[in-house]
Amino acid sequence: MTMAQRYKAGSFSKGVAWWSVLLILLAVAGGVALFYFNRDGNAVAVWYCCVVVSLLLLALITLPSGAVVSELGVEIRCVLRSVYIPPEDVCSVRTMEWSSLGRVVPMGGVFGFLGYYGTFYSTSSRQRITMFARSRNSLVELRTKEHCYILSLAEAEEFIAAVDSLRSEAKHFENQTK
């Protein structure tokens, strides 16, 4: 592998998009109702709008944007943060279904609004997972020695092939140096 290969994040599913639009409309309607019905003191309405806008911006800046596979490792990218995984730390990579996660309990992050990203607890595997998914479709599970990452990628099969190739090159290089 000589060049970095980029993989786009999966697209938003219709359900996630509709729920996100509905939540935004409800937040705007709540702000308008507070301004309209609370004419004497609009401090509550202003605070409400500030909190809602802050939460919306927080969800937007943590939005996953894809992954990069290079000879240096795997990089999972978000708008403001990236997770770097060296090739020797990757234990396995495979496709998976949302239903195999069981019940997913949010520990911190965004759950359902513009996707699923952050730290969650999976009841079926009884472990903490880090999720970077815009939808519940085309999910990839990437396991390291210490963490489990769930990604939704547009080109899931190509990503898995690239990571497997990277792992085999790292093992081959490790065997040659011994």
Q: What is the pLDDT of residue 149?
A: 92
Residue owning tokens 């290969």: 5
Other C-beta atoms closer than 10 Å to the C-beta of 144 total: 17
Amino acid at 65: S
Q: What is the pLDDT of residue 39?
A: 67
85-144 pLDDT tens trace: 888 888 889 998 888 888 888 887 777 677 788 888 888 878 898 888 888 888 899 999
128 vs 6, residue with greater confidence:
128
41-58 pLDDT tens trace: 667 777 777 787 777 777
Residue 68 has pLDDT above 80, yes or no: yes
